[in-house]
Structure 1
Amino acid sequence: MTRRLPSAGTLVALLVVVLIAIAALTPGLLTGRGPTEIDLHATLLAPSWAHPFGTDDAGRDLLTRVIYGARQSMGIGLGATGVAFAIALVLGFTAGLAGGVVDTAITRVLEVAFAFPALLLALLVISVRGPSVATVIAAVGIGSAPGYARMVRGQVLAVRQAGYIEAAAALGHSRLAVVRRHLFPNAVRPLVAVATLGIGQSVVWASGLSFLGLGVAPPDSEWGALLDAGRLHITTSWWLEILPGVVIVLVALAVTTLGRNLQHLLGGAAR
C-alpha cells in the first residue's frame, strides 16, 4: 500500500505552525528587537525592509510584537481548549457511563447551554469575573465545552456497544479496568483531532474578545490586543489592523488544516 504524500496546503500549514511554535517558545530566534522598544522617531512607519510589518504609534516594530504575542495568543488557545475538554470529558463520560436519570439531566443541561451562542457564554463569564488572561481562557473554554461534551458522550455510547468491551467484561475485568484500559482510550482517541481544531477556534475567539476590550488589554502584544490598539489608526495606518489580522487568519487556517488531516488519520468523527 503506497502512502500518499502530504499536499502543498498541508506542508504550508505545517510550516506556519512550526514558525508560530518557534515564535511562542523562542521569539529571539526570529527577531533581534524587543516588543516594548520605543522609537519616537519611527512612529507609524509603513511596512518596509527595515520594518516588514511597519511600526505603531510609539515606534515599536509591529512584526516583533506579533512574534512575541504568539506565546500569549497560542497559550490562550491551548489553555481554553484544555479547559473545554476537561469539562467535556467529565460531563460526557459521566453521562455516557451513568445513563438513566443522570444522563438525561446532563444532556438537558448541555442542550440548554448549547442553545446559547458560545461567544455569549464567554461574555457572560467575563462580565462576572472581569477581563484578564485567566478569565479569557476560562470564558472561551466554558463557551466551547457544551459542544465538546455532547461529542464525548456520543463517543462513549458508541464505544460501550463495541464487541471488545463486552468481551473484556465477560473475561471478568472490573468495570473500572474496562473503562481505563479499553473504553477511555478508544473514546478519546478520535477526539484528539477535534481538540486540535478547537485551538484555532479558541485563538480567534480570544482575539475577538481582546479586540472588544474584554480580554487582554494593550500594551500587551497578544494579537487581539494589537487589533484593538490598531483600530484607532485604521484610516491612516492600515498595517496596524490588517497584518495582525492576517496572522490570526493564517494561524487558524493552518491549525484547522492540520487538525483535519489528523482527524482523517485517526478516523475521528466529523465535528
Structure 2
Amino acid sequence: MTTLAPALRVPAARLTGLRARPGTLLALAFVTLVVVAAVAPGVLTDRSPTTIEFGNALAAPSWSHPFGTDEVGRDLLTRVIHGSRLSLGIGLGATALAMSIAILLGFTAALAGGIVDTAITRVLEVAFAFPALLLALLLIAIFGPSATTQVIAVGIGSAPGYARMVRGQVLNVRQAGYIEAAAALGHGRWTVVRRHLFPNAMRPLVAVVTLGVGQSIVWASSLAFLGLGIAPPNPEWGALLDAGRLYITTSWWLEILPGLVIVLFAISVTTLGRTLQRRLEGASR
C-alpha cells in the first residue's frame, strides 16, 4: 500500500493539468484574436469603424451585424475590433510605465538601504494607501482627457504596488548564494546587478506584468466610461461603454457586448498570467 500511493499521485497531477489546459488554450486564443485585431484589424473586418448609416441606426444584433449598430448606424463589432489597438496600446503603455517607475524605485530602495530605503518605502506606502483610481482621476482632471493622459494616469496609479513587489524581490534575491559567489569571484557591483540580480529578481514578476495589462485596460475603460477617456468618435473600448450607457434601456447591446469583450480579455490575460506564474515557480523549484 505504501508503494502505490506515490504512483497514484502522478496521474492525478497530470489529470489536473489536463483539466486546466482547455481554459488556458481558450484564453490564449482570445488574447491572440485581440492582438490580431489590434495589429491588423482588416484581417477580421473589411468595414470602416466610422461609416455612418442613419437608416440602420440602433439595429439589433444579426448575421450582418453580429454586435448590432450604434446610434448613427456604425457597425459595433467593427468598432470593437478597431478599438483593440487603442485599448491594448493604453494597457501596454500604462503597464510599461508602471514597471519602469517600479524598477527604478524598487532597486534604488533595496540596493541603497538606510535612509534612502526608508524614505522610498514611506513614500510608496503613502501612495499605495491613496486610491489609484482617484489619483488617475486627479491627473486627468489636471491635464485633460487623452490617450497619453490615460497611460500616465493609470501607470502612475499602479506603480506603487509594483515597486513594493520589486523591492521585496530584490531583497530576497540579494541574499542568495550565487550573488555572494559572484561578488567573491571579483565581479563588480554593477556587473553582479546586471548579470545576476536583475534577471533573477525580475523573472517571477513577468507573470505580474501580464496580469497588469488586463488591469490597466480595465482601469482605462473605467476612466473612459466616466467621460475621462479618448474623445469620440475614436472606437476605444471604454469610450464605447460611455456612449452605450445612454441607450442601455433600449439598446442593450451597445453596453453589454463591449463590456463583455473587456471582461473576457481581462479574464484571459489573468488566466495566462497565472499559468505563466505556476510554470515559473515550477521551473525555479
Matched, 1:153 2:161: no
Counterpart amino acid of 2:72?
Answer: A
Mapping of 1:50-89 within 5 angstroms?
Answer: 50-89=64-103
Give the TM-score normalised by the residue count of structure 2: 0.92
Provide the identity percentage: 74
Residues in 1 aligned to 2:76 and 2:146: alpha-carbon distance in whole angstroms: 23
Matched, 1:173 2:187: yes
Who is 1:217 aligned against? 231
Q: Which runs of 4+ in 1 moved over 2 A?
A: 1-6
Indicate which of 268, 271, 279 corresponds to 1:257: 271
Who is 2:62 aligned against? 48
Who is 2:222 aligned against? 208
Who is 2:127 aligned against? 113
Structure with the higher fraction of residues in helix conformation: 2
Who is 1:191 aligned against? 205
Q: Give SS of 1:17's match.
A: helix
Deviation per CA, 1:49-79: give whole Å up to 9, x if none.
Answer: 0100000011000000000000000000000
Indicate which of 130, 139, 143 corresponds to 1:125: 139
Indicate which of 247, 250, 257 corresponds to 1:236: 250
Q: Give SS of 2:169's match.
A: helix
Shift of residue 95, structure 1, vs aligned partner? 0.2
Residues in 2 aligned to 1:58 and 1:48: alpha-carbon distance in whole angstroms: 17
Shift of residue 124, structure 1, vs aligned partner? 1.6
Counterpart amino acid of 2:71?
Answer: D
Who is 1:36 aligned against? 50
Residues in 2 aligned to 1:15 and 1:267: alpha-carbon distance in whole angstroms: 24
Give the TM-score normalised by the residue count of structure 1: 0.97
Indicate which of 236, 246, 249 corresponds to 2:260: 246
RMSD: 1.3
Deviation per CA, 1:102-161: give whole Å up to 9, x if none.
Answer: 000000000000001111111121122111100000000000000000000000000000
Indicate which of 111, 135, 152 corresponds to 1:97: 111
Q: Give SS of 1:57's match.
A: coil
Shift of residue 41, structure 1, vs aligned partner? 1.1
Deviation per CA, 1:29-48: give whole Å up to 9, x if none.
Answer: 10110100111110000000
Shift of residue 266, structure 1, vs aligned partner? 1.2
Q: Which has the larger radius of gyration?
A: 2
Deviation per CA, 1:208-248: give whole Å up to 9, x if none.
Answer: 00010111122110000001111111111000000000000
Counterpart amino acid of 1:244?
Answer: P
Q: Give SS of 1:267's match.
A: helix
Counterpart amino acid of 2:39?
Answer: L
Matched, 1:142 2:169: no
Residues in 2 aligned to 1:32 and 1:169: alpha-carbon distance in whole angstroms: 59
Residues in 2 aligned to 1:193 and 1:97: alpha-carbon distance in whole angstroms: 23
Deviation per CA, 1:75-104: give whole Å up to 9, x if none.
Answer: 000000000000000000000000000000
Counterpart amino acid of 1:181?
Answer: R
Aligned length: 268
